[in-house]
Structure 1
Amino acid sequence: MFHLLIVDDEASVVDSLADTLPWADIGITGVFKAYSGAEALGMMRLNSIDIVISDIQMPGMSGIELLERIRKSWRKTKCIVLSGYAEFSYAQQAIRHNSYDYLLKPIGDGEIMDKVEAIVKLLQEERQEDRSYQRAIKAFRENLPKIRGELLNGLLQGKRYSDSRLNEELEMVSVDVRQNDCFALMLMRLEQGFAEMDFLSLSLMEYAIGNIAEELFEDKFRLWACRDVHGYLLFMVTLNDERPAGDDASPAPRSPSPEDAELFQLAASRLQSSVKQYLKGSVSVIVSGWGFFPHDMNGLYQSLLASLRRMLGDQDDLFIAAPAEREPMSIPSLQTLYEPPMLVHLLESGDWKAIGEKLGLIFGELGAKGAESTEHLVEVFFFIYSAFSSFAHKNGRRMEEMLGIGLADLRELSACRSVDALRGWASQALDFMQRDMERETRSTRETVVRKIQEFVRKHLGEDVSLLAIADHMYMHPVHVSRIYKLVAGENLSDYVLRLKMERAVELLTGSTLKNYEIALRLGYQNPNYFIKVFKKYYSVTPQEYRLKLPE
């Protein structure tokens, strides 16, 4: 809701603008009047004024002086200056004091309404942006530990970032790690005494473990922690060396010495003992060798998981130092399939370009590692097939409906004959799926537009503003406007106006209703405004239109 102040030393001008125009139609809920600059300032002090329309030439305090005072005390208030003087000096002064617009008298009511409506939209955007920004900052601060953990988790899973993007992310979450820093990983599995806890109690214990770890490591190391996708606590450990001032000018961080490595393992062992002593629960701890950030993140993490599978098993309260280098495997594993962003998530987001890029990475790795392996081909096929089928089912469809019987058939697995055959199958299936979803999107949008038009026709004489339509559709006004223009090829406001004018012609032609009665039936509370709109649309007034009708 916005308030408007109209200022002019000619009372007839103020009263005419304030009392005859349909301000409520454009979001103005309060209109105030002032007949001098001094009176306007008094109104400003007593009321919350969002928009000021002021004449320039007024006795006592000119409009330019008033504008200057408003700029100093009410910086968010938008101002329109009216004047019968065309001298450019006035326009210069108005611009210098950040006037929103400078208009010359005489000016039509429609132009005044258009200018104020534009300001209302601008104010709405500013308010929304300000509220959204403050909410976002508050939410970000409250969720900073979680956001840090999600970033670390992504790196552990192999998520790829450009150097500049990664630096931005690290700075945003206030993590003091630079590229090529040396680091090690410490994985902790919570066992007896913790497994029976509910979610809240377990979260408190994890918080307590994090605090204990910070105390034990703080002299020599920095920690960055998260809960990984398997539910284990994971700590990334870097050397706590003093950083010289500067960025690129700083020398490269040093590699850990044997003493550093020994201190790291000692602190990890003490953490295991402290958790058992103070929190009354057992944990197993696995520590990795050292690598360089971020390139070795996924490799060291996978070595910890491999050590956990091979050496830990179902035993509790163990401490393991993973081998510094991963053992070479006779059969390579495909990493790109399981690295974020996952294919199924990209499908859910409808990002077809990113889906194509993901498939390109998968087949690139497959060609390098598993071109001769039927097992790898089958693994990739079922991975892609399961993502496609999950997406189809979430949209209430069968695979045969989206892809056709041939592409959805699993009986012969003909797509697994070769990398090229599998790539061709995936590309064709993706193309079918994309076209199917685009047809569904068009159909959904067309349904939305039909419902909008039905609402407008049914409530033509009532409130059919964009906000009222958006409320009826449970959609954001901007989204309603964009969808309507995209499908119908015209603005929603033009459609509403056209229906109202067509209905006005019907009433003028087929009834004896007076102009003000027709105006009220069409939702115009001000008959004079209805007459102006009608004349602008048909180039004649309603009365002139009636007189031209055949007897």
Structure 2
Amino acid sequence: MVTMLVVDDEIYALKGITQGIEWGDLPIARILEADSVPEARRQLEANQVDLVISDIEMPGASGMELLRFIKEACPATLTIFLTGHARFEYAQEAMRHGCFEYVLKPVDHDALKEIVRRAVAEIEERRAQQAFEETLETYRRQWTNQLPILVERFWQEALAAGLPASPDRLSREYATYDIPLSAGDPVLPVLLSVEQWDVGLDGRDERIMEYALRKAAAEIIVGAEGAGAALQDRAQQSLVLLYKANEARGEVLQRCSEYIRACREYFHCTVSCYVGEPAAPQALAAELERLSRVERANVAQPASVIDASNGAGHAGSAAAAVMAVSGQTLPPFMEWSILLDGGSVAELEAAISDALRRMKEEGAGRESLELFYYGYVHMLYQSALRRGVPAGELLSQQELAEGLAARTPDGMTAWALRLLAKTNAALLDRQRDASAVIAKIQSYVQEHLSEELGREEIARAVYRNPAYLSRLFRKETGMSLTDYIAQAKIERAKRLLTETNDKISNIAEGLGYLHFSYFAKLFRKIAGVTPQDYRKKHQSM
């Protein structure tokens, strides 16, 4: 509700506004009166006033002095001025001091009421924005002051590099981080996919709000018992890991639905949840890769709970079963992964050949070859996952079967080198494909700078899932899609300010900014000066 103050030294004009207009259909809680500027100042100091309607020309102190006082003491208060003289200097000074509207007397009551209606809508919009900024500031402080918890680090390392193969060691790791799991217990992954923000956020604030979304997921999806973790993996995917993997699936889906509604209501964003299959910890990376593939294919069901159960097994679980019963030393797959990620294919080929040659000299048997097979496949899958290549597109069932069928180190060497060549080609193709998608995005943005652009419509234009598209853009360019759009618009504004004499407000509207104050704030943030100062500097050169 709004408190309004009416200031006029003419009693009939004052009462005509406060009592002669029916204000009941507007959210106005109180209407205060003042017949002079000193009385108006007392009212402003004693009350929280949201809107002032004031005559400009009054005996003693003028309405313009009142406006200057309001700007200094009550900057959030909107002001509507009334005057009997159409003097341009009055209007010019009033607007310079932030007057909401300037109206000539005699005032039509219906017209004045409509102006007040717009002012009230502006006040409510500012309040909503302030409430959101306060929420954002709360989570910004939390994000800044809190270090990542140890459990989140543990799962990030586990998803990137794999868990210990020994059940005893894995149990000790769980005990260290107070994770209520035994070595063989499955975990249920839920991928959280942010598809659209309904408010303008730069890249930093977007990350902060994603942190807030994970906190909310911990409360709603994991629940008060804390039988799970909400985290972000190294591919910048937000996810939930539920330790009670075998609880009723319907309850998990219901909590995900509640989470999606909460995100819409409290965080102003559209989110989908992809609920996977229970997986052994060693197979989580493969299951999350499968969920990512489902996410990328989802372009028609925003704000949905996607039950991505399929009952299919994964190579990672078989690897865990074999590797858990053997203490044999395996090749340095982690180092090999670094070589593959860095494009050192020739060096990796030599390392593979050398490792299998030593296995041949040592008389390696069938079990050793199987251990090599599973470790090698896991290494390829992990590298592919980090580069956004689905495991299902990387290796065919026939190629996997050929590796399992290899009976000698020489046969395994030939198979491993063939897969390395194919994997490297797939990674290079994906990099080129990603570059092509980024180029399409940048082209689309440049062609639609006059519109209010969001990731959802851009994703539709390039036929990609919006959440995946946002992560891809950030990964490939080092900046968020929101920041890129803002910078592109401000660069266009700079050119128009320099090359044309268009009004700055028209330039802002032409770039899709309906609120001039937001445009001016964004311009100064990016360019370092106001639009007015930028024009003065560059048009005088």
Regarding TM over 0.5, the answer is no
Bin of the TM-score, shorter chain as denominator length: 0.3 to 0.5
TM-score normalised to the size of structure 2?
0.36
Which of structures 1 and 2 has the bigger CA Rg? 1
TM-score, reference length from structure 1: 0.35
Higher relative contact order (CA 8 A, sep 6+): 2
